[in-house]
Amino acid sequence: MARTLTINGQMVSARDEDTILRAAQDAGIHIPVLCHLDGLSDVGACRFCLVEVAGSNRLLPACTTRIQEGMVVQTDTEQLRNYRRHLIELLFAERNHVCAVCVANGNCEMQSLAIQLGMTHSRYDYMFPSLGVDLSHERFGLDHNRCIMCTRCVRACDEIEGAHTLDVFGRGAKARIVTDLGMPWGESPTCTSCGKCVMACPTGALFKQGSTVAEMTRDRSKLNFLKTAREERKWIV
Total binding residues for other proteins by CB under 8 A?
26
Alpha helices in 46-77 (DSSP H): none
What phi and psi values does residue 156 have, to the nearest 5 degrees? -65, -40
Indicate the residue among 99 and 156 with the shorter CB distance to other proteins. 99
* 39-47, 75-83, 95-103, 151-159 -> range binding other proteins (CB under 8 A): 95-103
- Give the nearer residue to other proteins in terms of CB position, either 128 or 169: 128
Q: With binding defined as CB under 8 A, does residue 118 bind other proteins? A: yes
d(CA 24, CA 80) in angstroms, rounded, equals 16
CB of 132 to other proteins, least distance (A): 10
Q: Where are the alpha helices (DSSP H) in 50-188?
A: 78-94, 109-116, 152-155
CA distance 177 to 145: 11
Between vectors from CA 177 to CA 163 and to CA 99, what angle results, nearest 5°? 120
| 56-91: b (≥16 Cβ within 10 Å) or e | eeebbbbbbbebeeebebbbeeeebeeebbebbbeb
119 scored as a contact of other proteins (CB under 8 A): yes
107 contacts other proteins (rule: CB under 8 A) = no
92: contact with other proteins by CB under 8 A:
yes
Site for other proteins in 198-227 (CB under 8 A): 214
Binding of other proteins at residue 129 (CB under 8 A)?
A: yes
Q: What's the start-to-end Cα distance of the chain, in Å?
A: 28
Contacting other proteins (CB under 8 A), which of 2, 11, 28, 121? Answer: 121
Could you list the residues that contact other proteins (CB under 8 A)? 92, 96, 98-102, 105-106, 111-112, 114-115, 118-122, 125-126, 128-131, 145, 214
